[in-house]
Amino acid sequence: MRSATEIVDRISSTLNGVALTGAALAIIVMVASAGFQVIARYIFDAPPIWTEETARYAMVWAGLLGASAAFRMKQDPTLFPDMVKREGGRGLALALVRAAGVFIFVAPILYYSFFGRGMNIAKGFLARTLGREAEMLGVPMVFFTAAIPIAFAFIVIHVIADVLTRLSRISAAGE
């Protein structure tokens, strides 16, 4: 039990490191392409057309990866932040309520990313965007839309890790 918990928590914290690094890199890409746009406009008098789209999709990645990190690091605005700090049995119950809320929200997003109506994979969000091209960059949209299921999958793992960690803390206190 304890070792399983440790593994899940290790995965969760590793994924969080990956998310933060990825988001930071994406923000650097944003600064670079928007900055390059200014330089290109005034020095070469020819604003390239790919910079805006590059910056926009970098923002999508940065924001979604950042959203998963904000979740793990408990930085999202909350009306009753003290409830998150509760420990023990009551803390676990509250954590389970929160986990249920997250699952209710995330389940349809993950499901419909992969499946269309009637469990049709070809009509799922990812498959649909595989067939659409980004206007300027000419690559399939799926390179950007994939950020949605990835970020929400990270969040699901963070939720599971949180609940398991609380459980193991309670059982450790009981021993």
Closer to other proteins by CB, 12 or 37: give it: 37
Determine if 20 is a binding residue for other proteins (CB under 8 A).
yes
| Closest distance of CB 100 from other proteins, Å | 8
Task: Tell which one of 11, 29, 92, 94 touches other proteins (CB under 8 A).
Answer: 94
Comparing CB distances to other proteins, the nearer of 12 and 113 is 113
Print the SS3 string covering the chain: CHHHHHHHHHHHHHHHHHHHHHHHHHHHHHHHHHHHHHHHHHHHCCCCCHHHHHHHHHHHHHHHHHHHHHHHCCCCCCCCCHHHHCCHHHHHHHHHHHHHHHHHHHHHHHHHHHCCHHHCHHHCHHHHHHCCECCCCCCECHHHHCHHHHHHHHHHHHHHHHHHHHHHHHHHHHC
Q: Report, in Å, the least distance between residue 119 CB and other proteins.
A: 11
Cβ proximity to other proteins: between 11 and 116 the closer is 116
Give the span between the Cα atoms of 62 and 70, in whole angstroms: 12
Task: Show contacts with other proteins in window 96-155 (CB under 8 A).
Answer: 97-98, 100-102, 104-109, 112-113, 116-117, 123, 125, 128, 131-133, 135-136, 144-145, 148-149
Chain positions 33 to 92 lying near other proteins, rule: CB under 8 A, are 34-35, 37-38, 41-42, 45-47, 49, 52, 55-57, 59-60, 62-71, 73, 75-84, 86
Q: Which is nearer to other proteins, 5 or 33 (CB)?
A: 33
